[in-house]
Structure 1
Amino acid sequence: MKYIYLIFILILSSSAWAQQEFTLHTMDLVFQSAHTNPATLHRHKASITLASSYHINVKNTGFNYNRLAAQVETDETGQKVLDLGKLAENLKLNGKDYLHASASVDLFALSFRAGKNRFSLNLTEHMQARMGYSDALLKLAVNGNTPGSTTSLGGYKLNGMHYRELGIGFNRKILAEDKLVVGGRVKTLFGLSNVKTIRTDVNMHTADESDMYAITATSDILVRSAGVDMLEDGDLEYLLNTANRGYGIDLGASYQYSNALSFSASIVNLGYIKWKEGVTNYTSKGEYTFTGIDNNDLFNGSFSLDQTELIDSITNIFEFEETSEAYSTSLPTQMYLSGFYKVATNTTASASIYSDFMGGFRKGMALGITQQAGRWFQASATYAMHARSYNNLGLGFVLGTGGSGLQFYAITDNVLALANPGSAKMVNIRTGFNVVF
């Protein structure tokens, strides 16, 4: 049963680590913008959130739905089928593509100003996963194996995680005329579940004609997991598990260079989680060679194939050994560097550079314009290039009473995805309510 849950989480992770939020980053009327920079100065004296702030982010750098749909053909029976040969020819992956999905909710958040200081407290639930992939399996299925060559079928990188964050934040104005604001947030993390690949090396070597095209398959796989077994024991035990602890920190600063020009920089989610409760590590290291068929045996009818033995031998390559050794995972660290220029009393233009890290830096950039109307309304529009996607138009707005009361906001980094999801490589939505004073 454990393997079923492990496979289930792997599938969820692959269909779905760090989430950029360019539009939110420009909107200082909502407390949630502190998720991208803890030095953000909010316009309200206090803000309270009670399980009413939600964020969903889905991204696929390699293809979109329309690219897949274009490879569908009608067969002789009139049925729609995916043409794998056409797909393999037109997919055009670059070897660094990945699938990503994340969701978070602020279960509780409080932020308040005291003089030049601002304090905050948040309890946030995070679920996120990212998997790097290639088209090696697809090309093998379509083109077959080439004699005298080795095909790599592994190399898939996966990291899926569910954790809870308890954060305490602080920022303060310093220097003459309060030009510099520095801020930070320290976080205690409670890991609930994780699946992470360390090695996924699977190779298939095909011999040439002199060795009867013998096929040798090898595996070297290490997958770490934690919390998966607890799903079998019931939701309550899983959700209340606090044994897998970790710590993190967010750092940020903003500088008012002149009345019109300001800059900000931040690094968020710098930290780790130590997984020691409910840990199962899966290791597979094996080799099997199918020696091929001798032509003489084939023609004189003496050839026989023990299918059961063949299947058992192949299965043994991927037979997993289990251990319970503790391990650590890092948080999906993100960095923002931005400039803001006030083009009119209530209108600000911005430019931002973003980077996250998973086996290498992945970069993005955005241009934006933000319009302010007191403390009751703020709207922002952005254009971003990220994840090999160049049609990301972001829109966001905040609507409140102007003083104390309920504040509603809705923000997306790709409004075109809502209008035409088939052409989108990225969907990003944050929405919710705050009570502000």
Structure 2
Amino acid sequence: MYKTRLKYSLLLFVGLFMSNLLSAQKMNNTLYLMQNVPQSNQLNPAIQPECKVFLGFPGMSSIYLNYANNGFTYNDIIKDGTGLQKDSLVVDINSFHDALQSTNTITNQFDYTFFSLGIRAKKMFFTLDMSSKVDTRLGFDKGLVSFLKNGNANYMGRTADLGALGLEGTAYHEVALGVSKQVTEKLTVGVKAKMLFGVANMHMDESDLSVYTSESGDLVRLHSKQLMKVSMPLDITEKTDPDGTNYIDDIDVLDDDLDGTFFSGTNNKGFAFDLGATYQFDEKTTFYASILDIGGIKWNDTYELYQDASFDWQGGDWSQSGNSKDPNYREIGDVMEDLTDSIADAFRFRDNAGSYSKALPTKVYLGGSYKLNERMNVGAVSRTEIYNGKLRPSLTLSANTRVIRNFSASVSYSMVNNSYNNVGAGIAAKLGPFQIYAVSDNLLAMNPNTAQTANFRFGMNLMFGCRKKSQKKDVCKIQEDLIYEHMQKLNEKKAKEKKKELEE
């Protein structure tokens, strides 16, 4: 008999990607204008770090975690109980339902840059980054939760459309080589080429769920059409129906194959590139633009798990479960097991091996900054993610200051994922050649009960050749200003004395 081990095996894949599939858009907006941090070049290949050479501290160049969703918070689901449950936490399905959007997206990202290097050559700057990245997404329609909450009483004689399920997970390694050039005094352009090495991928290519209820209510027909594509080491056991049709009886993840050889010797190759530009409009105003991750990965050694089936639910037969002394007595657990086995038999997956290509989510950044004085500037950054034909925009306003030469700080405010309470901050401190930095787009996520977006980036760099000729010019300019100011005061003093002499 077909068992539902499939769902548990697929959950192992989800466990591979940080064990919790929950978010909507990856955020890096505060870092974008922290240009004394070399990793801002990862968001715009035209941004040239200040120092002649930087080296990401081995193994600690950049660690980035992100969670976001576009609908609910923890407080929308979990509430303090009342009455007999006043000492307990309870699930509030009504509050959860009311907080949902028509389509809900939940995602996680984890980026680990274990090697970074940057070298300046006159007006050009070269970079090399090596990273491991994980991106997971879960999507569902509000109609599914509505049906589970309200039941099928409102759908007698018709079909309830429960929408589609979106389940995606991708893990890959990236080697990125970038170059930027100052074309004119105002314009700098950059490009970055990325070799991609796919580790594992799973995504829903097609999904449809519906439930039909007869007018009398004696028939409930469940229908599911799903097409899931998977590229990872699996052991699939197939069986054959009496009609000769093969179907999947069991799926197991081959844990032994998830070793160093698999991760480094992957057969899933891809390519992507980034484009960027900066333009200094005047002494105080600078504009920025970049497009990231144009490209994708071709996944080989893959499986297509396909399902298109219906099941007529007519209830379980409990007639022989009332009297335990009846020779035909059947325990309720046995009746339920027969029922679930019947559902499992109806909803069998069938596989078709092949290869497929999957694009990376493309990101478009547009921004600008305005220098208030020598120590402080303000800026704005918009970020739009393009994925599966959908646009996910965000906007961040920030203020950036360099209190002293080797210490800078930023504060930001972001609007993203239907959330408007995202206050972020970033700091970067340098002692000798050693720099440490930390940045988040939403510090309020430290209270997870109310957060829809949470991210954090941390890293360390070694930086050399950070003194610029322009700094000497700045010192000269300051000296000239002081001399000019002193001469003005002398002239004013002489004018007053001359005026006094004339009056006498």
Q: What count of residue pairs does the alignment treat as equivalent?
A: 418
User: Which residue of 2 is the match for residue 86 of structure 1?
Assistant: 94
Distance in 2 (alpha carbons) for counterparts of 1:130 and 1:312: 30
Task: Find out whether 1:4 has 2:34 as its counterpart.
Answer: no
- Residue of structure 1 in register with 2:347 after alignment: 318
1:144 alignment counterpart: 151
The match for 1:32 among 34, 39, 43 is: 39
For residues 361-380 of structure 1, the aligned pairs below 5 Å read: 361-373=391-403, 375-380=405-410
The CA distance in 1 between the partners of 2:336 and 2:7, in whole Å, is: 25
Which residues of 2 match residues 241-252 of structure 1 at below 5 A? Answer: 241-252=265-276
**Equivalence for 1:391:** 421
For the aligned residues, what is the CA RMSD?
A: 2.4
State whether residues 284 and 372 of structure 2, in contact with CA within 8 Å, keep that contact through their aligned partners in structure 1.
yes
Q: 2:478 matched to which residue of 1?
A: none
Q: Matched residues in 1 for 2:86 and 2:375: separation?
A: 59
Q: Does 2:253 align with 1:224?
A: no
Verify the 8 A CA contact 1:13 1:158 in the aligned structure 2.
no
Once the two structures are TM-superposed, the CA of residue 140 in structure 1 deviates from its matched residue by 2.5
1:425 Cα deviation (Å)?
0.9
Between 1:123-132 and 1:370-379, the stretch displaced more is: 370-379
Q: Which amino acid aligns with 2:11?
A: I
Per mean C-alpha deviation after superposition, the further-off stretch among 369-378 and 326-335 is 369-378
Deviation at 1:120, TM superposition (A): 0.5
The answer to whether structure 1 residue 271 and structure 2 residue 295 are counterparts is yes
**Counterparts of 1:184-263 in structure 2 under 5 Å?**
184-209=191-216, 212-229=217-234, 230-263=254-287
Query: Structure 1 residues 273, 222: CA separation in 2 closer, same or farther (over 3 Å shift)?
Result: same
TM-score (norm 2): 0.78
What is residue 73 of structure 1 aligned with on the other side? 81
1:305-336 per-residue CA deviation (whole Å, 9 max, x = no partner) reads: 97666433321332111122111111111111
Q: Structure 1 residues 170 and 143 mapped into 2: Cα distance closer, same or farther (>3 Å)?
A: same
Q: Secondary structure at the match of 1:357?
A: strand
Shift of 1:142: 2.7
Query: Given residue 47 of structure 2, which amino acid in structure 1 is its aligned partner?
Result: T
Distance change (3 Å), C-alpha of 1:170 and 1:349: same
Partners of 1:416 and 1:74 in 2: CA distance: 28
2:121 alignment partner in structure 1: 114
Partner Cα distance (1:81, 1:314) in 2 = 33
Contact 1:18–1:333 (CA under 8 A) maintained in structure 2 = no
- C-alpha offsets along residues 279-312 of structure 1, whole Å, 9 cap, x if unaligned? 222111112223579xxxxxxxxxx997666433
Q: 1:83 to 1:188 in 2, by over 3 A?
A: closer
Q: Could you tell me which residue of structure 2 aligns to residue 406 of structure 1?
A: 434
Q: 2:382, 2:393 within 8 Å by CA — same for their partners in 1?
A: yes
Q: Quickly say closer, same or farther: Cα 1:88–1:205, change in 2 above 3 A.
A: farther
Q: Which residue, out of 267, 270, 282, partners 2:305?
A: 282
User: Do structure 1's residue 327 and structure 2's residue 332 form an aligned pair?
Assistant: no
What is the rounded CA distance, in whole Å, between the counterparts of 1:422 and 1:326 in structure 2? Answer: 42
For 2:363 and 2:140, locate their aligned partners in 1 and report how far apart those are by CA, in whole Å. 22
Find 2:138's aligned residue among 124, 131, 135.
131
SS in 1 for 2:49: coil
Shift of 1:76: 4.0
Q: Secondary structure at the match of 1:44?
A: coil
1:297 corresponds to which residue?
A: none
| Contact map agreement 1:97 1:132 (CA 8 A) in 2 | yes
Deviation at 1:2, TM superposition (A): 6.9
* Aligned-residue offset at 1:354: 1.1
On the 8 A contact 2:24/2:69 being kept in 1, the answer is: no
TM (norm. structure 1) is 0.89
For structure 1, the residue ranges without an aligned partner over 5 or more in a row are 294-303
On the 8 A contact 1:203/1:218 being kept in 2, the answer is yes
Q: Deviations over 1:253-304 (max 9, x none)?
A: 0001101111010001111011003x222111112223579xxxxxxxxxx9
User: Would the alpha carbon gap of residues 13 and 128 (structure 1) be closer, same or farther in structure 2, given more than 3 Å must change?
Assistant: farther
Q: Distance in 2 between matches of 1:232 and 1:284?
A: 28
Structure 1's 81 and 341: CA in aligned 2 closer, same or farther, altered over 3 A? closer
Q: Secondary structure at the match of 2:265?
A: coil
Do the aligned residues in 2 keep the contact of 1:158 with 1:197 (CA within 8 Å)? yes
Deviations 1:52-87 (A, max 9, x none): 0101111122111122223x5357477735345534
Q: Give 1:414's aligned amino acid.
A: N
Identity of aligned residues (%): 29
Query: Residue 316 of structure 1 aligns to which amino acid in structure 2?
Result: D
In structure 2, do the counterparts of structure 1 residues 106 and 17 end up closer, same or farther at CA, with 3 Å as the change threshold? farther
Cα distance in 2 for partners of 1:196, 1:406 equals 42
